[in-house]
Amino acid sequence: MTEDILQAEIYKYFNNNYCLKHHNPRCSIFAVPNGGLRNKREAIKLKATGLKAGVSDLIVLMENRCIFVELKIDKGVQSDKQKEFEIIVKALGFEYFIVKSLQEFKNIVCLQSRSTTDLI
């Protein structure tokens, strides 16, 4: 399995179970497309408009929760920029997870909503 396939599975699961109009509260999940090949002009434009290396693959918004999800398969490891981003996210009191399977993601989002004091 590739990270792209895992990301598609996670997106489909979460979107279908938490993000449809009839869900209350209605949640959101979105990708941050930092990877891929770009020409120099496009790369300069994206960087100037806020593209940031190391940002997690997915951001999940739930009631009273903002979860940053970095996807890795097999023996994949975080880059230095990803580690730096994780430190910032956690220092600001948000949740950050490295996820290697759909089941692992399901376990994370099914956690009861936590109060801010539980995250400190």
For the chain, domains (ranges, CATH) are 3-119 (3.40.1350.10)
Reported confidence tier of residue 40, pLDDT bands at 50, 70, 90: confident
Question: Can you tell me the distance from the alpha carbon of 51 to that of 29, in angstroms, rounded to the nearest whole number?
Answer: 18
DSSP-assigned letter for residue 23: S
Residue 34 has pLDDT above 90, yes or no: no
Q: What is the mean pLDDT of residues 88-98?
A: 98
Q: pTM for this structure?
A: 0.87
For residue 2, pLDDT over 50 is answered with yes
* 3-class SS of residue 30: strand
Looking at residue 42, what is its pLDDT?
87
pLDDT over 80 (residue 119): no
